[in-house]
Amino acid sequence: MESDPPFQESYKTLLRDFMEEKHTERMHEMFFGADKNELPLIDLSRLCLGEYEQEECKREIIDAAKRWGFFQVVNHGISRGIFARMKCEQAKLFQQPFDEKANGKVLNLPTDCYRWGTPTATSLTQLAWSEAFHIPLTHVSRLKEFNSTLSSTIEEFAEVVSELAQRIAEILADNLGCKSTLFSKNVLTGSCYLRMNRYPPCPISSKVFGLVPHTDSDFLTILYQDQVGGLQLVKDGKWIRVKPNPEALIINIGDLFQAWSNGTYKSIEHRVVTNQEFERFSIAYFFCPSNDTVIQSGLQPSIYRKFSFKEYRKQVEEDVKSTVRRKSPDMADSDGGGGGCCRCCFSFILTSGLTALFMWLSLRASNPVCSIQDFYVPALDKTGNFTTNTSIYVDLKLDNENKDKGVYYDVLNLTLYYSRNQSQPIAIGNKSFDSFYQGHKKNTRRKTLVDTYGVPWDAASTAVSNGSAVFRVDLATAVRFKIIAWKTKKHKLVVRAEVPIDGNGKKDKKKGIRLKSSAPELGCYRAPAGLLIVISIFILGFI
């Protein structure tokens, strides 16, 4: 019987629609445009040496958690034999017939522990070309009836990896001055999860993710992977490829640690790309607290409200469901219910709405600051023989000044205009830049030559001399903000600025010129929160 999930058959409609839209070139860039980079590599054996070596090792861990959110560790104390046994048992497990895996016949576990694809995908970029067993460690003992070898191997693996996670978490907590017992009291083996992943060879690897971009909703994740590769993460607004290291484990910060550290440590978006020839295996250990654990930063003022892990998981699930309902209205729940059910649902919706409102008010974001750092028109430069060069050099800077809020930019559309004597501006050139992600407190530069058309250069030269020439830069895009694991809706960003030019065709100001909009910036609006609260409480009192 076939062991691979039926990806092509189940998602043939998405694949057909995608091919008809002819996005191949753009998708190829999306999947393979990532830069190569080496994650910080930390030798943990120094934690057993003298005080200087210990402190230096801890400093490297803390620095990597702050700047990268990801790092590799070697000499971690876990034997190769454990990893070899885990990989062997993992491979045998995934070789079982697909129907048996999907129907829960392989292990004595709930059927939702086996996952494959993305049932809710409405586009090819939402599809995960992978299969996985997501196992709560409280359920491992139930595996003994079906596979005692697998059960004992997982228990052995979880024990040593849990010790490593506790050790790393304590180092990071100590750096914050938080001598908290949060981890030892609330993050127990039974509250953690193990996920065994398999990424089958994908014949359309340039079009489908193995795992879609996401962040982890835990404190820490410890990853063991084979040498096939495919893991990518965001660094300085760009996707980078992580080169596998056979001696190393990968550790990354989760959303809970970012919130608990008040944004000191970073939960970074990451993804897995597929491979056309080779299957890929990995094992992820999720360092999670019990459901009723309250996440509250000990650092003040706190930029995140306190919440329980149960609340957070529920919020993530609701976000996923609401996205599916918006995109696939025909998938609404068909179960009936009496007045009591409707009443509870209505109360829940209102309560959720109020919660969302309060979070919006406390986590409002400001639009990026866009500015022109340099602007040069060679055709107007009288100091050299550049009059035949009709391109215009533009240096655009985008600043995300938000604290702990990343920005997703759609395609940037840059348009240049020219006018003289207050006449109607005419478009003389345009340029587009690909969409990208920008971390908080980061800036991004886009430097380019814009080919121009329809410019009366002789008249423009005269107009520059007498001060009647006006060059204008317009920028149009759409942005959405990332707050921990939440993403806002898209908001249009349309800004512009006039750029004064001197007699040599150069920007006539040393400082950057900020692009501004006549519309109010996002985040300036203040909802009448008190009125909404009173109305909501009034309604809740009658249901």
Instruction: Catalogue the active-site residues.
Output: 280
- Locate 402 and state its tokens: 């938000």
Structure tokens belonging to residue 291: 């459901």
In whole angstroms, what is the distance from residue 459 CA to residue 419 CA?
Answer: 11
Give the other-Cβ count within 10 Å of 181's Cβ: 9
Q: Are 281 and 110 in contact (CB under 8 A)?
A: no
Residue that the structure tokens 């034999």 belong to: 81
DSSP category for residue 301: S
How far, in Å, CA of 395 to CA of 376, rounded? Answer: 9
Q: How far apart are CA 260 and CA 257, in angstroms?
A: 5
8 A C-beta contact, residue 64 and residue 42:
yes
Nearest to 227 by CA among 362, 346, 87: 87
Rg (CA), the chain: 27
188 burial level (CB within 10 Å; 0-12, 13-18, 19+) = middle
Rounded CA-CA distance 277/205 in Å is 9
142's CB contacts (< 8 A; 6+ apart) are 107, 108, 109
CB atoms within 10 A of CB 110: 11
